[in-house]
Chain A
Amino acid sequence: MFEAVAFYLFAFLTIAMFYITVTTAQALYALTALAAGMIFISAFFFILGADFLGAVQIIVYTGAVMALYAFGMMFFDTTRDVKEKNGNKFIVVSLATLAAVMIVAIFMAPIVSTNMQAFYPAIEGIGNTQMVGVVLFTKYLIPFEVAAVMLLVAMVAGIVLAGKKMDLSLTKMSAAQIKEIEDKDKKVLS
């Protein structure tokens, strides 16, 4: 009973928040609604018994990703209204629904057709966090390491792309000035 109430409440809230995110003309409203939607999604993870995933969702999405977006938005002109593509709305909505239904069908086809067996069944009496740790550090160790390397590469890329010449505005400089700076960089590097 409580599960049903919680499910429908959070489903409604999540859909409403994400609907605001994709329809509002203000970038700041979109950011706030997206952050709220992320927190509501973590409620589903808690309902489903994936406690660690819910905690990670709150920490990573609403902590790190939203902070990064808010930081990035300081560079952009977010006060003016966002321009929209004014295409045929019917085509957009029907294409999106069709694609989503197709993707669910693709994922559900193998599940419906055969009896699924759990690879790593949950053991009674062991908490979700402990179980996640056991599976992640035994069966999924290599993907875990690869993900760590990927995050390191992404961090280096972010620093290199956004952190260079923070005191200059490349928008206000002419092409010749930018080229001059780049040539100077090449001399330093070589």
Chain B
Amino acid sequence: MEIGLNHYLILSTILFAIGLVGIMRRKNLLLLFFATEILLNAVNIGFAAISHYYGDLTGQMFAFFVIAIAASELAVGLGLLIVWYKRHGTIDLDTMTSMRG
């Protein structure tokens, strides 16, 4: 059976759905970060598949920039997380109510 663009897009959708489920059910901020990485990777698969099936390199370029953004987001986010943990001793979302939200 020939593997077409739709196969990759369906796979990308499934992985994106898994990431969204992770974001909605996790309370620990570190595991929320994991779920974000899953989302970004799912999108990368879609970009690479479209790039391959249309013979165009633009999709791969966008995937590179997505990887760069993911790396910088992680560096800043993990730094903030460490500072928060040092001050409050927990990284659960429910404890972050200092803004009375």
Contact = CB atoms under 8 A, between A and B. Distances in A.
Given A53-B48, A69-B78, A122-B55, A92 B60 contact: no
Interface residues of A, number: 85
Given A96-B20, A121-B55, 20 more contacts: A18-B15, A22-B31, A27-B28, A27-B30, A31-B34, A44-B48, A45-B48, A49-B52, A53-B60, A53-B64, A68-B78, A69-B74, A69-B78, A87-B25, A95-B24, A101-B13, A111-B50, A143-B65, A150-B72, A178-B87
23 contacts: A14-B15, A27-B28, A30-B31, A44-B8, A48-B48, A50-B48, A50-B51, A53-B60, A61-B67, A75-B86, A82-B28, A95-B20, A96-B17, A99-B17, A100-B20, A119-B56, A119-B58, A120-B58, A135-B61, A155-B75, A158-B76, A170-B83, A171-B88
B38 A22 contact: yes
Nearest to B68: A147
Nearest to A131: B57
B74 A68 contact: yes
Interface of B: 1-3, 7-9, 11-22, 24-28, 30-31, 33-35, 37-38, 41, 44-46, 48-52, 54-58, 60-61, 63-65, 67-76, 78-83, 85-89, 91-92
A104 B67 contact: no
Interface string A73-94: 1011010001111010100110
B25 to A, nearest CB: 5
Nearest to A15: B14
Nearest to A54: B48
A17 B3 CA distance: 22
Chain A at the B interface: mostly helix, strand, loop or mixed? helix
B48 A85 contact: no
A116 B54 contact: yes
B100 to A, nearest CB: 19
A53 B87 contact: no
Interface string A31-45: 100100110010011
A60 B13 CA distance: 23
A10 B67 CA distance: 20
Contacts of B51: 48, 50
Nearest to B86: A170
Nearest to A46: B48
A100 B67 contact: no
